[in-house]
Structure 1
Amino acid sequence: MTPDTPHNDLRPGFLALSTALTGFSEHELLGTGQTMIYLQTVCDMARSDCIADMLDAFCACAIGDDKAALDRHLRLCILSHPRHGPLARNLVKLWYTGTWHCLPRDWHESYGGNPADHDHIPSPTSYTEGLLWPAIGANPPGAKPFGYGMWANPPRVFRA
């Protein structure tokens, strides 16, 4: 995707929502290189107007620094909403695992979406850039090795 794509106007809201859903900063999300690919994926699978409506609902109450109020709004108005909830949950899975999961059949029957919606990996780097890996303090198996001879050291375990 190029910077002047049709979905570029959704990017700020998409990043803000993704930050709230994942707990990672915009800087960290942009660092994955997947932002526009994931936005395009969501728009392709669920239609642009569905994602735009979800972003509008999120941005309507995402003003201010009150984290508790934002979390409450996220749970009540986005994750529990019949139209926005499945999209938001898929977005979380997409950021963490690098895989888009097909939206439920009843969601498609109620709200439309792309009849070609299917489970898929949106880009060759989605797996290695998944947020799962930094969240657990590990590197993805088969990619991003720790370095020469690291196999000789015990695994690093991070405790909260």
Structure 2
Amino acid sequence: MTQTTDAENNLHDFVKFSAAVTGFSEFDLWGTGQAEEYYKTVLNQEGPDAIRKVIASDPSAVPSDPVVNSIIKLWYVGVWYGPELVGRMDVAAWTAPGRSGAKPAVPDDSRPEESRSLAMSAQGRAGEAPAHAGNERKPLFVVSPDAYTEGLLWRAIGAHPSGAKAPGYGSWVNPPVFED
């Protein structure tokens, strides 16, 4: 019989909490192959105290917590959006009218003053140390090479990630099928 370590228990608690806030089962989350990578990301970016606080909290009572929102986004799209970005981004910084009037979901670099202020707010205020000393705090990054293809987004919308998990030639002609 093997003895589990605190790190393994914390990882299991993280997945259990993540299942509660994402709406997917623990089985589904383990099946992505990203659980350990996502746990390490949150631990490195926010520190052990923040992750303990999140795991110990009631999942139904924390939807406005920026760290929890970052965790949810991490599972769905495989990108770490630091709490600084979750809580401080405004629509104008992330959208810009295109030719057709559509608004792209990427930062608008044509407004350098907004991009600069967003980057500065993501780095923290002057003299403020990163949440977890010893690690460079990155407000926005793809966590692993497989994170995009394993994002819960694709299951939620009944689709496959473009260019990564092709369902077969010509399958695009059929509407997506949603799982119950």
Runs of 4+ in 1 over 4 A off after TM superposition: 108-112
Partner of 2:97: none
User: For 1:65-80, what aligned pairs fall within 5 Å after superposition?
Assistant: 73-76=58-61, 78-80=62-64
Q: Distance in 1 between matches of 2:6 and 2:68?
A: 21
TM-score (norm 2): 0.65
Partner of 1:11: 11
1:95 aligns with 2:62: no
Change (3 A) 1:158 1:12: closer
Query: Could you tell me whether the CA contact under 8 Å between 1:13 and 1:55 is conserved in 2?
Result: yes
User: For 1:12-31, what aligned pairs fall within 5 Å after superposition?
Assistant: 12-31=12-31
Could you tell which deviates more after superposition, 46-55 or 109-118? 109-118
Q: Distance in 2 between matches of 1:159 and 1:96?
A: 16
User: For 1:36-55, what aligned pairs fall within 5 Å after superposition?
Assistant: 36-55=36-55
Q: Which amino acid aligns with 1:93?
A: K
Q: Distance in 2 between matches of 1:23 and 1:98?
A: 16
Q: What secondary structure, in the 3-state scheme, does the structure 2 residue paired with 1:128 have?
A: helix
Q: Which amino acid aligns with 1:16?
A: K
**Aligned-residue offset at 1:148:** 3.7
Q: Distance in 1 between matches of 2:129 and 2:68?
A: 14
Partner of 2:100: none
User: For 1:135-146, what aligned pairs fall within 5 Å after superposition?
Assistant: 135-146=156-167
Q: Which amino acid aligns with 1:74?
A: P
Could you tell which deviates more after superposition, 45-54 or 33-42? 45-54
Change (3 A) 1:117 1:128: same
Q: Distance in 1 between matches of 2:26 and 2:179?
A: 24
Q: Which runs of 5+ in 1 are unaligned?
A: 59-72
**Aligned-residue offset at 1:154:** 2.5
**Aligned-residue offset at 1:23:** 0.6
1:155 aligns with 2:175: yes
| Root-mean-square deviation (Å) | 2.9
Q: Which runs of 5+ in 2 are unaligned?
A: 85-120
**Aligned-residue offset at 1:111:** 9.2
**Aligned-residue offset at 1:17:** 0.6
Task: Please give the per-residue CA displacement for 1:6-54, whole angstroms capped at 9, x wherever unaligned.
Answer: 7333112101110001010011000000000000000000001210122
**Aligned-residue offset at 1:149:** 4.2
Query: Could you tell me whether the CA contact under 8 Å between 2:21 and 2:60 is conserved in 1?
Result: no
Q: Distance in 2 between matches of 1:150 and 1:41?
A: 35
